[in-house]
A and B are shown apart, each in its own frame.
Chain A
Amino acid sequence: MSRGDRWLAWGSGLALAIVLFATSALFGVTLFEGVPRLDLAFFVEAPDASMVGGGIAPALVGTALVTLLMTVAGVPVGVATGIWLAEYAPRAGRFGPRLAVLVRAAVANLAGVPSIVFGLFGLGFFVLFVGRGLDHALAEGAPVWGRPGLLWASLTLAVLTLPVVIVTTEEAIRAVPDSLREAALGVGATRLDTVFRVVLPRAAPGIWTGVVLAIGRGAGEVAPILFTGAANYLPELPNDPRDMFMHLGYHVYALSTQSPDVDASRPTLFATVLVLLALAFLLNLVASVLRSRARRMA
């Protein structure tokens, strides 16, 4: 190794070491400070009014609900778009490929839109335009639809996570060898039969990777739900999709910036952050397992 080679190795290694150190510090400190506060009660109880004691049950449930609704609303659209881009666009006449260029550009741009802008969009479109519109149409006196709630937050997050699903679906479908398509078409299967019976089963692990990544992204986002449904303190669980809800991420934000007694709420905070981190870790693990399965199949 020449001196130049050593410099390169050490210099680049140092950069990476800093990144890894920062990552492990984040996880390590959270684990160290958060674990002692964890017990069963933390998961099943509501926070008390001071938000210092008690648990995070409503935030857990709220996060789960908003993520579930988001998935149900967004994944079918995203997967359909991926299918269209990979399977239909190249064959859809002269307009297909051109439209595909537009769709891909839109997906790339959608992925780059700041999350807070999604929040403004959710408020301006779902809450004020759609929601208020519904209130008008149904002649509701007080706003029923036209206020922040679980449904609107979920739909906002669904739009936000759309690019993740689209991109991974398209990639997964493209990785399916053409020989399989030909085999299906060769016995007289329609394009749709081919897609649903041959291509999608084969691409499934890749598509699921995208879904899990989208869930991970959606579950952790706070900015888009600030004005579209998240509540600061709401010990009751939502029992209507139009209700507001507590959310793990929002809870962390609220506790760390608006808590009346920061030192007292510190253990609760770390424990909540730990739960969020564990969630991100778990989803990431699932995604990488799925991805390696997808690679093995390709």
Chain B
Amino acid sequence: MTETAVERAPRTEVEPKLRIEKLGVAYAGRVAVRDVSFGLPTNTVTALIGPSGCGKSTVLRALDRMHDEVPEAEVTGRVLLDGEDVYAPHVDPIEVRRRIGMVFQKPNPFPKSIFDNVAFGLRVGGLRNRTELAARVEEALRHAALWDEVSDRLGKSALGLSGGQQQRLCIARALAVRPEVLLLDEPTSALDPIATEAIEALIDRLRGEITMAMVTHSLAQARRVADHVAFFYLGELVEHGEAREVLEHPQDERTAAYVGGRVG
């Protein structure tokens, strides 16, 4: 299965915000993802879909160099942020992660106050000024549509929030450092439908401001929020293009089988 993925994204002249070129990831020599190439167009939402275990999260984590933390993981290929390879030898993963934020599957707030959670990235980035910190925290919380719910208890522990609020807090925490790209790894899989709706609404509002990539297991969710869809199967990118096109008229039979509910 070395045929190239069906590429149906309109050949825009604009360089995508993040371009992935021949990305491969292997764990301890076992290939998890191979030869993946696609782009995240600026300020749009791209959904990474496919059956579980097909490498969606692996690709996502490669984009902000989280695999650097796994000793036996090996990443090949290039990931170009504004045309520059984030894997270039002179680039520190710290910087990559500040410019490319990530939200994880399960809400993972620190056992700290709500304020300290959101301020965390700013503080490790060296921001000390209290007024500016407060302003940036408020901005991020407003951005994440959480401000009205927590503004009166910023000093309280983040663990007191509901699951959906915790996940929005994690988004706010990621947004606080003003990343240019936001990666969301199944951000609603641990949440109830109402909380899911709130997160989806939030993603919709962020569209046009920030480039997003989201792994999801739900085709319905991909339909609701994604501008573009990338379909992964057995560690390979099978099809990539505008959401409506890929979901309504899949070209590859594997995509058709998945979208039609016959696989996964």
Residues of chain A whose beta carbon lies under 8 Å from any beta carbon of chain B = 90-91, 96-97, 177, 179-190, 193, 197-198, 201-202, 297
Contacts and interface: CB of A to CB of B under 8 A. Distances in A.
> A-side binding surface: helix, strand, loop or mixed?
helix
Contacts of B173: 183, 187
Given A186-B64, A187-B97, A179 B69 contact: no
Contacts of A201: 111-112
B122 to A, nearest CB: 9
B177 interface: yes
A183 B95 contact: no
Nearest to B64: A186
A182 B104 contact: yes
Contact of B124 (A179, A182, A197): A197
A166 to B, nearest CB: 21
A92 B66 CA distance: 16
B41 interface: no
Contacts of A197: 120, 123-124
A196 B176 CA distance: 21
Closest 7 interchain pairs by CB?
A187-B121, A188-B98, A179-B108, A186-B102, A188-B97, A189-B124, A193-B124
B28 interface: no
A186 B124 contact: no
Which among B96, B120, B177 has the greatest number of chain A C-beta atoms within 10 A?
B120
A90 B123 CA distance: 27
B101 A179 contact: no
Nearest to B117: A183
A183 B108 contact: yes
A187 B124 contact: yes
A186 B110 CA distance: 13
A202 B159 CA distance: 13
Contacts of B101: 186-187
B125 interface: yes
Contact of A183 (B94, B96, B104): B104
A183 B108 CA distance: 7
Contact of B104 (A179, A189, A193, A202): A179
Contacts of A186: 64, 66, 97, 101-104, 174
B66 A188 contact: no
B10 interface: no
Interface in B39-83: 64, 66, 69, 71
Given A184-B120, A188-B177, A193-B124, A179 B106 contact: yes
Which among A185, A187, A193 has the greatest number of chain B C-beta atoms within 10 A?
A187
A189 B106 contact: no
Nearest to A186: B102
Contacts of A91: 69, 71
B170 A188 contact: no
A65 B102 CA distance: 49
16 contacts: A177-B108, A182-B66, A182-B102, A182-B104, A186-B103, A186-B104, A187-B97, A187-B98, A187-B174, A188-B96, A188-B97, A188-B121, A189-B94, A190-B124, A197-B120, A201-B112
A184 B110 CA distance: 9
B94 A188 contact: yes
Interface string B121-133: 1011100000000
Contacts of B110: 180, 183-184, 198
Contacts of A179: 104, 106, 108
